[in-house]
Amino acid sequence: MKESNNKKREKGKKGNLSKLKSKISDLVDFLTYEIWRLDSRHVSGKRNIFYNGVKAVIMTIRNSQELQLNVRAASLTYRTLLSLVPGLAVLFAVSRGFGLQNIIQSQLFTYFPGQQEVLLQVTEFIDNSLQHAKGGVFAGVGVILLLYTVFILFSDIEDNFNKMWQLSKGRTIQRKITDYFALIIIMPVFLVLNSGLSLMISSSTVYFDAFSYILNPLITQVLNFLPFLITILVLTLLYKFMPNTKVKFMNALIAGAVAGTAYQLFQIVYISGQLWITKYNAIYGSFAALPLLLLWLQLSWNIVLMGVQLSFSLQNVQKFYFEKETKNISRRYNDFFTILITSLIAKRFAAEKLPLTTDEISEKHAIPTRLTNQIIDLLQDLQIITPTPSQEDDEIMCYQPAFDINLMSVNSLLEKIDTYGSEDFIIDTDVEFKSHWDALMHSRINLQKDQGDVLLKDL
């Protein structure tokens, strides 16, 4: 009896284990394949929102690995180090105008406890620089170089944001100058306001002594939440306005909330760890400040860039159908989508309708956004289409034919694609490999004859 019961238990355990393996396998198959082919029109509202959230998280993780987020964060860490002193100089100049320089300095000491000696040297250097600038000694080339360093940092940030948004073109030089220098002034103002609000809230209990037993816990909670709120607001604005495209505010806000919360939690862990590391300053001395600063910058940029990818995933989650297949797309299907997109642009022009943006082309015709961007870039390089500002926003580009649509045929398009690029190679196509070249040309000619030359607007 005991042996039979043990055998039943073993069979039951094996059965449960096989069921668990089967469920895990089904879940993996659903997340990697089936979820990307679900039609949102056949899924309930709440479930569709949940599925979109799951897909956004998966795409954020997958794209972060493909785009080598750590490498991008390392590049931005290097740029930030170069711009650290000029950036702090602007910060101190703005805070001095508000009369809050001492508060900013005390916050720096709070962020980097145990590194007072290094921070004192940096702040002393910045004070001397500002004094020289005020006296006219530090003028001309010096000021231009410092501002140029900060300008290059913002340009590098935009380039990384645009690549993560799969954008091929950034701002023009004129827009960069106006937008970046506006950010250079606005960002320090947020930090100054953060310090000023903290000081104002913490000192408000002086005027309400009778209610201090009620206000003190409330003010403590407000002060604890205030850094989260300021960080979320700054990151939301960064995600909204830094990419050279129209980012929906809600997507930027969600990404800002996630990244801002993660950043503040990282700050808490980092500061606690830094306090623990300062016990070993007797061994490392003031040199410990540099690796700690590099670690903080690297991880901070990782969090910020992860938020960028999350905002992109949230905004484009409906266009992620067959996104994975785009990387391994066959040549004929790539040519098919190229003909399709060119035909759509030509037919809209023939019907005298407004031209479409890349996002509108992807959404209306269920074409993966990565593939749409690649084909639009190719068609521009081939001078088949040309960008034009949309009526809603001059910064958003629509696309229309670059020449007479009555001359735009399938064969001419494929011929342009075939001959695009360099053919200047040292290989004998006239004698030694003439048969190979003739076979290729013969197959092209026969294919075009069989298909006939159809105008793209007539498809």
* Domains delineated in the chain: 2-65 (no CATH), 67-318 (no CATH), 323-458 (1.10.10.10)
**Helix H or strand E encompassing 457:** none
Distance CA 274, CA 285 (A): 14
Of 136, 348, 165, 145, give the one whose Cα is nearest residue 255.
Answer: 165
Kindly report, residue by residue over 159-177, the tens digit of the pLDDT: 999 888 877 777 888 888 8
Distance CA 353, CA 13 (A): 65
3-state secondary structure of 138: coil
pLDDT at 9 over 70: no
Task: Give yes or no for a contact between 319 and 363, defined as CB atoms under 8 angstroms apart.
Answer: yes
Mean of pLDDT over the chain: 76
Q: Residue 132, Cα to own-chain centre: how many angstroms?
A: 38
Distance CA 451, CA 411 (A): 9
pLDDT of residue 325: 65
Task: Give yes or no for a contact between 85 and 126, defined as CB atoms under 8 angstroms apart.
Answer: yes
Sequence length of the chain is: 459
Least confident among 94-108, 134-148, 263-277, 282-296: 134-148
- Mean pLDDT, rounded, for 113-124: 64
pLDDT of residue 401: 92
Distance CA 240, CA 395 (A): 14
pLDDT at 201 over 60: no
pLDDT of residue 181: 76
For the CA atoms of 44, 49, 55, 60, the dihedral, rounded to the nearest 10 degrees, stands at: 170
- Comparison of pLDDT for 376 and 286, the residue scoring more: 376
Q: What is the DSSP string of 393-456?
A: -TTSEEEEESS-GGG-BHHHHHHHHHH-S----S--TTTTTHHHHHHHHHHHHHHHHHH---BG
Measured over the CA atoms of residue 65, residue 67, residue 71 and residue 76, the dihedral's sign is negative
pLDDT at 243 over 80: yes
Task: Give yes or no for a contact between 244 and 395, defined as CB atoms under 8 angstroms apart.
Answer: yes
Q: How confident is the model at residue 274 (pLDDT cuts 50, 70, 90)?
A: low
Across 250-346, the runs of DSSP E, i.e. the strands, are: none
Highest mean pLDDT among 4-18, 298-312, 354-368, 392-406: 298-312
Highest mean pLDDT among 108-122, 242-256, 418-432: 242-256
pTM value is 0.73
Kindly report, residue by residue over 48-73, the tens digit of the pLDDT: 778 778 888 888 888 888 888 888 99
